[in-house]
Structure 1
Amino acid sequence: MAMNPALAAAEQITRTEARNFYYGIRLLPTPKRQGLCALYALARRIDDIGDEDAPLETKRTALGLVRKQLSDLDASTDPVLVAVAETSRRFPVPLEAFEELLDGVEMDLRGATYETFDDLRVYCRCVAGSIGRLCLSIFGNGTDPRASLFADQLGIALQQTNILRDIREDLLLGRVYLPSEELRQFGVHLQLDDAGALHDPDAKLAAYISFAAERAERWYDLGLRLLPQLDHRSAACCAAMAGIYHHLLLRIRDNPTAVYERRMSLPPSEKGRVALTALAKAVLPV
């Protein structure tokens, strides 16, 4: 049977754009893989609106259009939205999670800064906890009523990893996500040196990154409680996606200065090993 064209389009977007997530997504059976790709494609569109080089008002208008489209998915002819509509008929998708993602992107457009970690956690929940809850609707909730909480916590762990990885790139864009209160406590003044790298002559930023990475590690401990609630294929997918970011976090924790000059990433071979390890731990039906 030929794949629904809208679902096929969403999967192509995911295969092309989700350089980390697709290692896990491809471990899912076809219906779940298609569904998760549809949700990713829309989330990616929302995220791209926030990051594109366009006037602020143009971005706000684009986000407003997505909000309007979400309120009447069945009327859309856009392939990504058609794929999301089809997925929401197949799975219990919490479409309100996309609204939270939109809220998070709008925080970026406002140039929001974060005084405390609790403030940052609200942002992380919007832009990443929402993705965790969307994924859970495809994976299945298991029996623990806290499964949604675990998915939310895992998303927050991944977003903390993104923030630590992208300190330099965000600063170049005029964005600072690290809590101001904590930067003051560590005596950190974020700035670039003459070569365009993060300036840290007294290793105060390195000390802060190690501290923040240890905290993110505890969020992984919380979020990974989700895995026993999932069927084997879904657990393998989730473990692969989270594992790639977790490995990245451990590298940052062990060598904070690695993020000073360029965006750190894992080589494809290491990403593949993480996915294969997750798959090997799953008892897959023949």
Structure 2
Amino acid sequence: MATDSDEVIIVMPGGRARVSLVPLLRRCLDQPRQSWPDVVADWLAAVRRELPDQVSAELGPADVEQLRLRLIPAAATPEADNYLAMPFGTHFTAMVVVNRPERLDLLTLAQVAQLGGDPEGLVRIAVRQTVERELVSLDVRDHELPGGGSVRLLASDGNPFVTTALMSVKRFLPDGADNGALVAAPQYSAVMLHRVVGRVQDRAVALHRLANSMFAAATDPCTDQIFWWHGGEFHPVRVVAGESAGAVQVRMPEALAPVVERLDRGH
């Protein structure tokens, strides 16, 4: 563990991974003490799933065709000193990966040098190839959200790059999404968007429950956190158990308090 921060550093093939403990601490605060061992075990399993099994020692020109951009939760981000990665807002990181037939390899900075030493150029290639080869065939459908309203599901079975569509949320929203959208990415192969209209708290609870059920059942879990995408930024929305059975509390982003108040008034 880093002695002066809330992070752990994990030694792994090709370098180190720096993993934030903040999401774990927040999750523990939302759960009774007797549930903490299970919470920690689930967090450790999720972190392990994000670590690469291996990093290729060498790359050649042909491997450029396999470059993709993958959006992952910031808490699972490998140390930026070793890999070609960049923050996407506060809560996500965009990782350049090599899309092998049976696995994904993180692209190290040493490999960037092998490919000509142009990180920005490789990122542009990875973005273009992800859009053209991974995102054009997404299944986009609207489904009824429990309690009313609808949720737009972007999905592609076995596709680990669907979350990269979050870099272009507006493209997938229906017209009239002036208040943004509630967003969930429970799986790397599935993203959910709900256009915000009217009172947002009830819709947040419904989306949270749906996202958590998908996250728990997923073979490719991404995050059980939901966000409010507004003004081009992702703001966390926290849904926590209340004091009485079945009750929940919705903690909306402070930055969006004026928007919540306006929507509650029906404007």
Is TM > 0.5 for Structure 1 vs Structure 2? no
Q: TM-score, normalised by structure 2?
A: 0.33
The structure with more strand, counted as a fraction of residues: 2
If asked which structure has higher relative contact order (CA below 8 Å, sep 6+), I would say 1
TM-score (norm 1): 0.31
Question: Of Structure 1 and Structure 2, which has the larger fraction of its residues in helix?
Answer: 1
